[in-house]
Structure 1
Amino acid sequence: MTHTVDLFWSFRSPYSYLAIPRILEITRDYDVAVNVRPVYPIAIRNPKFFSDVNPLWIPYLMTDITRVGEMNNIPISWPRPDPVNMNRETKEVPADQPYIHRLTHLGIAAAEAGDGLAFIDQISRLIWNGETRGWQKGDHLSNAAAKAGFDLAHLDQLISADFDVYDAKVSENQQALEQSGHWGVPTLAYNGEAFFGQDRIDLCLWRMKKNGLNARL
């Protein structure tokens, strides 16, 4: 029997990016279906988060994602441009956000149309692996989408037709995330339990195995 897990995920979360390779391994090796549910980053959901957080948090984050990437042989570098428009000095998050709404809505459209996991994998690699500055320019996004089997122009057409519809779908995902028992990303929600963080993926796998999850033949 296929086991289904919800993946709450953000294009601005470095840990979400770092989680994808292990999740892909699990879906290849076990009879698991991943329901990709993109949400807005915490900076959009709570614009005061970074101004209120302990000042040690950001330096620790940068150190930690670098070593996690190194340990797992996953290249990682903070995106340029940042998917969230934020003043690095004041930590202010302005209302004008040229990238994150589009990215999040594209993730939802891809998940509805096909292999959402492949889409967020390819797009997040483009944004986070440090090889492409100016990931939003030219044909970078369309090429990454094509690697996942999607026509970016078609997805853009879907999401541009009604911003409010996709914005509402993001809100539904955010509400479902909190109902699962957490607020952060990446979170795997399985059978009434939330497993938060890229370091809890194997704990979720353990739980699914206890519930009869089988390896793929």
Structure 2
Amino acid sequence: MTAVIDIFYDFRSPYAYFASHRLRRDAITQRGHDWRWCPVSIDVLLNLQAGREPWEAYVDPLPRPKRAHLIADVRRLAAYHHLPLRAPKPPRPNPVPALCLARLLGEKERQAFSYAVFDALWQEQQDISTPEVLQSCLAQAGVETRELDAAFDDAARANLAEVTRQAYARGVFGVPSFVVGDEVFFGSDRLDLLLWRIERP
């Protein structure tokens, strides 16, 4: 049967980057389901889980051993998926303008733009918070050049926080997450389980 699948993602997540490549390379999105791309802020999700205000200053939630494991895990997964992976520059990029811009696009434009931003960040080490890089990503996605002021204003930032809050209320606590109805599948490694769940006889 066909299903409506909401994809919650933040460009700063390497696991979301891996999922984006599986979705395009493995032709998963050609299996007849309705995939809806839903940009959210991982920082806001973490703050909500900790009982903080959405845009409070970032606090690293990982202890040192888990952080070291995450870095090693990401490198292994990149090799496993045969994907180029380069450390972002700056080391902790600001994805908010790109997320806000993605929310201003139509669904098909948003998907193509998101693919371009993921690659700009994780392959080309570009600063995705700059208008120049965002315009380049729009061009790569086949989206006509547009004014970007709306992606940088307070209203767009507030909207991003609100849709992230709504996602959290649905059970989304991290990215990437795939939501079908009231079921949440967290992580790029849950794509196969998701497809099994919705396509089984």
TM-score in terms of structure 2 length: 0.82
1:145-179 Cα deviation digits (max 9, x unpaired)? 2121213434x14435x531x22331232123223
Q: CA deviation at 1:141?
A: 3.3
Cα separation, 1, equivalents of 2:168 and 2:125: 34
Q: CA deviation at 1:127?
A: 0.6
In the other structure, the counterpart of 2:102 is: 107
The AA in structure 1 aligned to 2:141 is A
1:72-107 Cα deviation digits (max 9, x unpaired)? 1111122112454xxxxxxxxxxxxxx432111012
**Matched positions, count:** 190
Unaligned runs of 5+ in 2: 48-56
Cα separation, 1, equivalents of 2:195 and 2:81: 18
CA RMSD of aligned residues (A): 2.5
Q: Is the 8 A contact 1:127 1:135 kept in 2?
A: yes
SS at match of 2:64: coil
In the other structure, the counterpart of 1:11 is: 11
Cα separation, 2, equivalents of 1:103 and 1:120: 8
Cα separation, 1, equivalents of 2:88 and 2:64: 21
The AA in structure 2 aligned to 1:163 is D
Match of 1:169 among 159, 173, 181: 159
Q: Is the 8 A contact 2:95 2:128 kept in 1?
A: no
Cα separation, 2, equivalents of 1:146 and 1:13: 23
Q: Is the 8 A contact 2:46 2:173 kept in 1?
A: no
> Superposition pairs for residues 61-72 of structure 1, below 5 Å?
61-72=70-81
Q: Is the 8 A contact 1:80 1:135 kept in 2?
A: no
Cα separation, 1, equivalents of 2:11 and 2:181: 25
1:182 aligns to 2:172 (yes or no): yes
Change (3 A) 1:35 1:113: closer
Change (3 A) 1:75 1:21: same
Change (3 A) 1:137 1:115: closer
Cα separation, 2, equivalents of 1:158 and 1:135: 16
Cα separation, 1, equivalents of 2:129 and 2:59: 25
In the other structure, the counterpart of 1:150 is: 143
Match of 2:114 among 98, 117, 120: 120
1:50-69 Cα deviation digits (max 9, x unpaired)? 1x421112211111111101
Change (3 A) 1:65 1:146: same
SS at match of 1:115: helix
SS at match of 2:120: helix
The AA in structure 2 aligned to 1:65 is V
The AA in structure 1 aligned to 2:62 is V
SS at match of 1:201: helix
Q: Is the 8 A contact 1:79 1:127 kept in 2?
A: yes
